[in-house]
Chains A and B, each alone.
Chain A
Amino acid sequence: MADRAELFVFWLFAIPLVASALGVVVARNPVNAAMSLVAAFFFLAGIYVLLVAHLVAFLQVLVYAGAIMVVFLFVIMLLSLHEEDLKPARLKAIQWAAVFGGFGVLAVLATAIRDSGVLHWTTVAPDYGTVRAVGRLLFTQYLLPFEATSLLLLVAIVGAVVVAKERI
């Protein structure tokens, strides 16, 4: 019974997720693509909750759907869109080949997933995926990568300012 409920919620999030991800690729206007991507991130956060990853689901909404997509929309608004930027792209032959290559990747992945058999869930501790448990893991076992991340973000901020500024 719980299995069927989980499967129902899974499809409830998965179908709109795939639809909005396709919307990113299909949309002609970059603003529409960005809004589709925001929707996709929200549905993906729902899937993360289903995977008992509460902290990551929070971060998905706060950092991805919030911060990163706001930056994207700012840049789209900042760079004025010309009409010719919205023209439908004629695909070259090499791009069609690349699309078939993409479907080849999907076929390989699908075969690998099918051949790996049914990967059952294991029972997890009650505090699995909570902010407290993941935070403790981050600040003990992953302390050095965590601090390196702060350095990475600092470098990214300085680099972004240096690259985007007209004159320092």
Chain B
Amino acid sequence: MAAANHYLALAALLFTIGLVGVVVKRNILVVFMCVELMLNAANLTFLAFARHQGSMNGQAIAFFVIAVAAAEAAVGLAIVIAVFRTRGTLWMDEVSSLKN
């Protein structure tokens, strides 16, 4: 039978895949993509609960999440370009000047 649980489980799985990607991948662009995956998992949870409650507030929140993700992608990719210009690498382990 169809219920919100399927969708919530799918969102949990997507979120975990994104989380593992963020901690394992070392290419900064792929890490960004995994963050997008996690944002989408959150969106899916919002929509599943909106359908469960029968209210559209969750859909409005999902709209705002998409807008914020667009802004995040624009600024984040600009930072990636700036880092690549000064360091010549996309490899996250080599960008550690704040650590030392």
Contacts and interface: CB of A to CB of B under 8 A. Distances in A.
Interface in A98-157: 98-99, 101-103, 105-106, 109-110, 113-114, 116, 118-124, 128-129, 133-134, 137-138, 141-142, 145, 149, 152-153, 155-157
A25 interface: yes
Contact of A163 (B3, B8, B79): B79
Interface residues of A, number: 83
A152 B47 contact: no
Contacts, number: 227
A3 B67 contact: no
Chain B at the A interface: SS class: helix
B95 interface: no
B63 A134 contact: yes
Contacts of A34: 29, 33
Interface in B1-56: 1-10, 12-21, 23-27, 29-30, 32-34, 36-37, 40, 43-44, 47-48, 50-54, 56
Nearest to B27: A30
A47 B7 contact: yes
A55 B63 contact: yes
B84 A79 contact: yes
B31 to A, nearest CB: 10
A109 B53 CA distance: 20
Q: Taking each of B4, B18, B52, B73, which has the highest tally of chain A beta carbons within 10 Å of its own beta carbon?
A: B73
Interface of A: 3, 6-7, 10, 14, 17-18, 21-22, 24-25, 27, 30, 33-34, 37, 40-41, 44, 47-48, 51-53, 55-56, 59-60, 63-64, 67-68, 71-72, 75-76, 78-79, 84-85, 89, 91, 95, 98-99, 101-103, 105-106, 109-110, 113-114, 116, 118-124, 128-129, 133-134, 137-138, 141-142, 145, 149, 152-153, 155-157, 159-161, 163-164, 166
Given A98-B20, A163-B79, 16 more contacts: A10-B2, A30-B30, A33-B29, A37-B36, A55-B63, A56-B47, A71-B74, A98-B23, A98-B24, A118-B5, A121-B4, A134-B56, A141-B60, A149-B67, A152-B68, A155-B71
